[in-house]
């Protein structure tokens, strides 16, 4: 029986795959971003300026991550959100790579790299979850 949207929006059971299994599932570009902590060029992703209402999911494991109502135009060239669907759906940790100090955001279900979170977002959180389009899929809400 297929999952309902409500079941998908909660925290799902952990997903563990070998890197060769991830390479089979993901495109080379997705693998570079999700599994090798890459970043797509600004303004290049399919979702950065999407206005579609729906739920953004991890492209690797389909974990629900963000709702479109929490998305905002950050002028950064990447999809930006001020809040995840649930705090337990994403994991944040310090990232000191590339000579910078940032906070990396990963999927709580499969550990895939999604992007970074910064403290320059809008109210009410003041956060900007700056995500890679390649790291997510968008499940559009059904038209009423």
130 is catalytic: yes
| Cα 16 to Cα 29: distance, rounded to the nearest angstrom | 20
| Cα 37 to Cα 65: distance, rounded to the nearest angstrom | 17
Catalytic member of 61, 107, 110, 130:
130
Nearest to 24 by CA among 14, 8, 35, 13: 35
What DSSP designation does 130 have?
A: E
Query: CB count, 10 Å around CB of 27?
Result: 12
Peptide bond into 124 cis (omega under 30): yes
Active site (catalytic) residues: 130
């Amino acid at each position: 029986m297929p999952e309902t949207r409500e079941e998908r929006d909660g925290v799902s059971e952990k997903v563990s795959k070998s890197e060769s299994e991830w390479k089979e599932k993901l495109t080379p570009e997705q693998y570079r971003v999700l599994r090798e902590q890459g970043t797509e060029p600004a303004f290049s992703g399919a979702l950065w300026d999407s206005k579609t209402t729906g739920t953004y999911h991890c492209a690797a494991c389909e974990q629900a991550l963000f709702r479109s109502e929490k998305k905002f135009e950050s002028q950064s060239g990447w999809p930006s959100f001020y809040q995840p669907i649930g705090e337990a759906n994403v994991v944040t940790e310090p990232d000191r790579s590339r000579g910078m100090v940032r906070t990396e955001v990963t999927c709580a279900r499969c550990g895939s790299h999604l992007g970074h979170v910064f403290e320059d977002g809008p109210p009410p959180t003041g956060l900007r979850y700056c995500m890679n389009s390649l790291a997510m899929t968008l499940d559009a809400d059904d038209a009423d």
